[in-house]
Structure 1
Amino acid sequence: MTRRVVVGDLRVQRLDRRGGRRSWTIVWPEGTVHEEADRFLRVYDGSGTQRTYAYYLVDHLRWLERECLAFGDVQMRDLERYMGIVGADVHMPLGEPWRDGMRPYGRAALTVAAACLKGFYLHQASLGINAGLGEKLDRTRLPTRADRRRALLGHVKSSMPSNPLAPKGPHRRHPKMLPDGARDDLLAVVSSARDRLVVTWLADGGLRVGELCGLHLVDLHLREDAACGECRSPHLHVCHRPGNPNGAEAKTKHPWLTSHGTVTGGLVKRVSPAMVHAYFEYMTTEYPCGTGHGMLLVQLHGPDAGQPWAPVAARRMLARAGKRAGLGAIKPHAFRHTFASAVLDKAGGNLLIARDAGGWASAATVDEVYGHVDVHDPEFDAALRKVWGEER
């Protein structure tokens, strides 16, 4: 590295580009681009990974500044020390000034940080910088049983990439579900039709908050036999739009198009009667006329009334409602975990039904290639209706 600045001056910068696209890079205090970081981040240009890696990488670059380490001088023990510091629950005697006010990384965050650092230093090694460190990071391992299950027809390579910086030991994720009765408790304390729509649609649709806040009115086909011809029942189309004015983006990037005012493609998701009811209540009582942007969720009060509602606002609303209801801070993704668990339970463990109901990509490639559930399959329909409370 050729420059030394006060620790913490490096920052992540969002770049707004043509067509509503966004990119992220790392800049110095005066706004000049950090060239080494920018070259690496360009590999993931415009993706969510680019944004995530930018924030993990800037933390590491600040640490390098504090340690007065150049890229060519970094050793494996330095990276292991860094991973230990950011994951430590106990502060060092002198504290960690470049991370003031930041919580220690959890296991999932450490895994992402390890992937980011490995990618960054392998990228540096490919440019002739610190090739020795690149060799130590570029490790492989034998394929596991899980690797074989994911591979098409069980054929996998004789070796798989390994990351020596990643947390060690077995790890099983335990999704955080909603407390029992949370949906009714939240509906009892929220104060607007829009907020009731948010609770209902997250609970019955299994939507991600970015998908919900990114919906446009044209994406909603809430009547039988819609013009798109892709689903006879009421449904919606989750479409990836990087140019939404509220910054909301669907994670899935299924191809879609608008023809003669009708949206086709995207991720098609069934809609419950309760979702339809919440929609019409919101549209007939609160949705302002002449918004112009055509998005579903809008600000209801203040100087920005009528403007698109951002995902961060939805998260804050749910957190406040959860505290009022005595449930603690509720996170939007808990609805999705609960939805997936309920569908899987009602479908008798059928993974294909749960995958298609929630719009997940299957972990098994063979399922993606050969398995697909018709949205009008009797089992699929019955599972959804049980989750929606229409069948007991």
Structure 2
Amino acid sequence: MALRVIVGDLRVQRIDRAGDRRSWTILWPDGSEYREADRFLRRYEGSGTQRTYAYLLVDHLRWLERECLPLDRVRLLDLERYMGIVGAEVQMPLGQPWRVGKRPYGHAALGATAACLKGFYLNQAVLGVNPELGASLDKKRLPTRADRRRSFLGHVTTTLPANPLAPAGSQRRHPKMLPDGAREALLTVVNSARDAMAVTWLSDGGLRIGELCGLHVVDLHLRENAACGQCRTPHLHVCFRPNNPNRADAKTKRPWRIEDGTVCGGLIKRVSPAMIHTYFDYITSEYPKDPVEHGMLMVQLHGPGVGLPWAPVGARRMLSRAGKRAGLGRIRPHAFRHTFTTSVLDASQGNLLIARDAGGWASAAMVDEVYGHVDVHDPAFDAALRQVWGHQ
């Protein structure tokens, strides 16, 4: 069974495979596969990148159809023009409008689009299609200090791949935090113990919404010296399961296993006393009394799907409604993670390694890029400005 999503003339299609695996491809209007796109997307089978690239690539291929540009006639100048149309800063005439009524891509989306287009056309060049464009895209550059720090290159000077389509420079992201007092305000307006648990676990655990909704009951080790032997204090294991019935996937794919009925491995995250309290409140008052086959922690409480796993979209809508009732506006789940990481950085006096492990980030460099900016309310920052202004 396949779920089709229509996008103009070409469409992105999700394919459900054996073992609850999913993949994504691009089809023509008559239902036949776009062979060149499918051949490229197969390289990312089983990863979230495949879906992202499918939606980015289908927009570009639709643009090629409108411009009457076959793949073997595309030039680097055409790709630069396309990047300008979707939001990049380029100095050239762009031609007819594209994506009318839609917002231009942000810096991160432009970077992903540039990587997708480079990979697609390099794949074509390997197959003998438009090798001139492939040569124009296959550039090299010297490593930066950040590159050396990430890959432990030290003083070694070597070359790294470069992308002429990528937006110039790096842009520090300023994450959107929760409003002051948001947690307390939300807890006063939520309607169930499950919703109170979701607010508390997002606040104290720094979990992504997919990680929270993807938890199984066996992933929780809420007592000291648990049988897994990997953490002395109460904790949980975030395990990547691509076959969750609610499609909640953990972004982190660390290896995990079950030994003698005990979950080991995965991403281990500490659990606060408040998280344990809300868990037992939810389990004893609202969790189904009869055993559930899916074994997942967060379940639906109302409607025809009562007892079934709670999907991330349901959690997002609950938080949005609660935020409006509390007068906070729309609350997004990732704002909890931003606030959690910033609080850990403040409490640890800017220790990136502590913030990385507490939030489950892939690298300390990523934490530094997102959260390593100066707090305008910091006393040292205030004192420095006053000295510059000539005030004591």
| Same-fold status (TM-score > 0.5) | yes
8 A contact 1:147–1:156 mirrored in 2: no
Please say if 1:299 is aligned against 2:300: yes
**Aligned position for 1:322:** 323
The aligned residue for residue 24 of structure 2 is 24
Partner of 1:164: 164
- Give the partner amino acid of 1:353: I
User: 1 CA distance for matches of 2:156 and 2:18?
Assistant: 41
| TM norm structure 2 | 0.86
Q: Which runs of 5+ in 2 are unaligned?
A: 1-5, 367-392
Distance 1:257 1:39 in 2: 33
Match of 2:106 in 1: 106
Q: CA offset at residue 352 of structure 1? A: 1.7
Q: What is aligned with 1:376?
A: none
Counterpart for residue 344 of structure 1: 345
Aligned-residue sequence identity (percent) comes to: 72
Letter in 1 for 2:309: P
Q: Which residue of 1 aligns with 2:72?
A: 72
How far is the alpha carbon of 1:100 from its aligned partner? Answer: 5.5
Shift of 1:101: 5.1
**Deviation, structure 1 residue 29:** 2.5
What aligned pairs does 1:132-281 form with structure 2 within 5 A after superposition? 132-152=132-152, 154-281=154-281
- Shift of the 203–7 alpha-carbon distance from structure 1 to 2, 3 Å rule, reads closer
80-89 vs 217-226, which deviates more?
80-89
Q: Mean Cα displacement is larger for which, 25-34 or 119-128? A: 25-34
Change (3 A) 1:46 1:229: same
- Report the equivalent of 2:116: 116
Checking the alignment, whether the CA contact within 8 Å between 1:7 and 1:65 is kept in structure 2 is: no
Contact 2:352–2:364 (Cα < 8 Å) also in 1: no
Partner SS for 1:264: strand
Rounded Cα–Cα distance in structure 1 between residues aligned with 2:317 and 2:111? 27
Q: May I ask how many residue pairs the two structures share in their alignment? A: 356
Q: Per the alignment, in what secondary structure is the counterpart of residue 64 of structure 1?
A: helix
**Segment of structure 1 superposing worse, 267-276 or 349-358:** 349-358
Q: Aligned Cα RMSD in Å?
A: 2.1
Aligned ranges 1:126-137 → 2 under 5 Å: 126-137=126-137
Q: Contact conserved, 2:13 with 2:25, CA < 8 A, in 1?
A: yes
Encode CA deviations 1:36-93: one digit per residue, 9 max, x unaligned. Answer: 111000111110111111111111111111111110111112111111111279xx99
Contact 2:85-2:97 at 8 Å conserved across structures: no
Alpha-carbon distance between aligned partners in 2 of 1:192 and 1:7, rounded to the nearest angstrom: 38
The separation in 1 between residues aligned to 2:56 and 2:282, in whole angstroms, is: 39
What displacement does 1:363 show?
Answer: 4.2
Deviation at 1:158, TM superposition (A): 2.1
Which aligned runs of 4 or more in structure 1 are off by greater than 6 angstroms?
A: none
Flag structure 1 segments of 5+ consecutive residues without an equivalent: 1-5, 366-392
Residues 250-298 of structure 1 deviation map (CA, whole Å, 9 limit, x = unaligned): 1111111112221111111110011011111111111123321100111
For 2:317, the aligned partner's letter is R
* Matched ranges for 1:346-385 at <5 A: 346-363=347-364
TM-score by length of 1: 0.86
C-alpha distance in 1, partners of 2:7/2:265? 48
Partners of 2:95 and 2:40 lie apart in 1 by 34
